[in-house]
Amino acid sequence: MHHYKSLRVDSCDQLSFDLVANRRSFKLEVLNYIHNEYTSFLSRDIAVKLFNAINDAGEVFNEETNFDSEELQSLFNDEKLIAIVQRFKDFYPQIIQEYNPEHSPSRKWG
């Protein structure tokens, strides 16, 4: 089963059902975190920033979303948010995938 990014004939690129399902799961987990599980306002704001950058149509993650070093460090210091990031790291921008946290050696990408 496939989904399509657009109904336009010239851009009928197929998306796998797994990709769509994973993106949906990712969005639901981030949304749940935003509403119920955030540990600080900064962590919640980071999650909102990530959630807003997700493209529903299956496009590539919006790489223009910028995160400063304080946001990145806060992301890696939040146990619940980093668990979501590690499960769905392929959906996050390159800056997060390449970040090497200074004070969180146990949370480096594996």
For the chain, the domain total comes to 1
Tell me if 31 is assigned to some domain. Answer: yes
pLDDT of residue 32: 93
Mean pLDDT, consecutive 10-residue stretches, the chain (110 aa), reads: 56 65 87 90 89 62 71 88 83 72 53
Tell me if 11 is assigned to some domain. Answer: no
Domain residues for 48?
21-107
pLDDT of residue 20: 75
pTM over cut 0.75: no
Tell me if 95 is assigned to some domain. Answer: yes
Tell me if 4 is assigned to some domain. Answer: no
Tell me if 62 is assigned to some domain. Answer: yes
3-state secondary structure the chain: CEEECCCCHHHCCEEEHHHHHHHHHHHHHHHHHHHHHCCCHHHHHHHHHHHHHCCCCCCCCCCCCCCCHHHHHHHHHCHHHHHHHHHCHHHCCHHHHHCCCCCCHHHCCC
Tell me if 49 is assigned to some domain. Answer: yes
Tell me if 74 is assigned to some domain. Answer: yes
Tell me if 14 is assigned to some domain. Answer: no
